[in-house]
Amino acid sequence: MQEFLKNVSRYPRYLISFSLGIFFFFFEQLKPFLERPVTAVALVGLLGGTLAFTFFTLRAMFGLSPV
């Protein structure tokens, strides 16, 4: 049982490492776009729009607000 708990306790560290790896990979890919102001504004707008779309979609799916 102790070996099982030791194995299960590794999963949160793996999840954090995996998530940070994906975040840093995408940040490195998008870094050249942040050097020019026009593309930086477009990238920030796209990110904001994506977050707003996800937020409102989840609110409608969970029934938290009338559609």
pLDDT at site 41: 96
Contacts for 33 with CB less than 8 Å, ≥ 6 apart: 39, 40, 43
pLDDT at site 67: 57
Cβ-based neighbour number of residue 39 at 10 Å: 13
* Claim to verify: residue 52 and residue 62 sit in the same structural domain: yes
* Claim to verify: residue 55 and residue 29 sit in the same structural domain: no
Confidence check: pLDDT of 17 > 60: yes
* Claim to verify: residue 29 and residue 54 sit in the same structural domain: no
Please tell me whether the overall predicted TM-score, pTM, comes out greater than 0.75 for this model: no
Instruction: Tell me the C-alpha distance between 33 and 49, whole Å.
Output: 17
* Claim to verify: residue 28 and residue 50 sit in the same structural domain: no
pLDDT at site 5: 87
28-63 tens-digit pLDDT: 999 999 999 999 999 999 999 999 999 999 998 998
Residue 24: which domain range?
1-35
Please tell me the total count of domains within the chain.
2
